[in-house]
Structures are given as C-alpha cells and as structure tokens.
Amino acid sequence: MIKKRKIIVGTIVAVGLLVIAAAWAAEKKDMGGWGPDSPYNRLYNASEMDSFKGTIVKIVEVTPMKGMSPGVGLWVRESKDEKILVHLCPTWFIDRKSTGLKKGDRVKIKGVWAVVDGKDIFMASKVKKGDYFQLKVRLTKDGTPFWTMTPEQLAKERKHQ
C-alpha cells in the first residue's frame, strides 16, 4: 500500500512538473514580439555597444513595433537640448514600478542605438544608478535578452549582478 502511494505521489509530482514546464515553454513561444529572433531584437547589435549618462525625465510604456506587447521605456535627458528614448524590456518581464528607477535619477546606460519606425532609440542592456544599483536586462557581451532565458540561466545571471 505504501509503495503504491509513493508511485501515485511520484506520478502526480512528475505530471505537475510537466505542466509547469509546458506552461513555461508555451509562454516563451509567444513573447509578444520580444522573442530572441524577433525583428525588434535583431536590431540589437552587441558589437556596436555604446553608453551615455543622463537624468531620467520620465518612465513610460512603449510599444517598440506595431503588434508588439508593451514594454518599459525611459526618457533620459543627456543634455539641456537632448532627450533620449531608452527601451528596457517587456512589461510582462519587469513592470515600470519594479525597475528600481524613478524620475530624477542620474544614470549611466549601456546598450546600442537602433532606428525603429524612423526614430532613433537606445536599446539598453544595463542601467546603472550610483555605485550600488544596476538593472540588467540583456547580456552585455552578446545582447541576449534576460526575458528569453531559462529560469536557470536567469538565476545564474542575477547571481552575478
């Protein structure tokens, strides 16, 4: 009887894990246009890495390309005359309130420049605020978006932040 219960419990646990894995895989398949090989992410060329400093003017919701799900963006004032729109990540990965950033923060942003719908934007890989805070959303070395990683890969990257 005990052996039969262990088999039943083991089967239930295995099925539960498969359901969780299937749900995670299904979620990863439809990333709302934010997938690793999407037209949007193909704009990110890690060999053209750049950075700039500025002050956050506003945290906004962006839709980078038609048909994409919303994302988090920053308007950053680099100089008196120049504001830059920075794209961070999809809102389903990190919402505006969970970024750890706010209006008035002085930041250094690493990423790449891209043109979307005829407008220059900056696709961020990392936003650093002060000496102790940074928000990483892509691998700096190759631009892999954190939101496309497996939970294990993501945990490894966040451990090194």
Would you write out the chain's pLDDT as a tens digit for each of its 161 residues?
555 554 443 334 333 333 343 344 444 557 999 999 999 999 999 999 999 999 999 999 999 999 999 999 999 999 888 999 999 999 999 998 999 999 999 999 999 999 998 999 999 999 999 999 999 999 988 999 999 999 998 888 877 76
Number of domains in the chain: 2
Q: Which domain holds residue 21?
A: 1-30
What is the bridge-based pairing of β-strands 82-90 and 133-136? unpaired
Note whether residue 70 is domain-resident. Answer: yes
Same domain, 52 and 78: yes
Same domain, 83 and 153: yes
Output the six-digit token pair for 109: 């942003």
The per-residue pLDDT for 80 is 87
Same domain, 105 and 144: yes
What three-state secondary structure class fits 144?
A: coil
Note whether residue 152 is domain-resident. Answer: yes
The per-residue pLDDT for 30 is 78
Instruction: Tell me the CA distances in angstroms from 120 to 42, 61, 115, 146, one per residue in order.
Output: 15, 17, 5, 23
**CA nearest to 138, candidates 101, 99, 107, 110:** 110
Torsion of CA 130, 45, 73, 51, to 10 degrees: 30
Provide the whole-model pTM: 0.80
Note whether residue 99 is domain-resident. Answer: yes
The per-residue pLDDT for 13 is 36
The per-residue pLDDT for 31 is 92
Rounded-to-integer distance, Cα 129 and Cα 161, Å: 13
Q: What is the CATH number of the domain that holds 91?
A: 2.40.50.140
pLDDT tens-digit map of 76-88: 999 888 999 999 9
Please name the residues in contact with 12: beta carbons below 8 A apart, sequence gap of 6 or more: none
Are 102 and 44 a contacting pair, CB within 8 Å?
no
What is the bridge-based pairing of β-strands 119-129 and 82-90? parallel
The per-residue pLDDT for 26 is 42
Same domain, 13 and 66: no
Note whether residue 35 is domain-resident. Answer: no
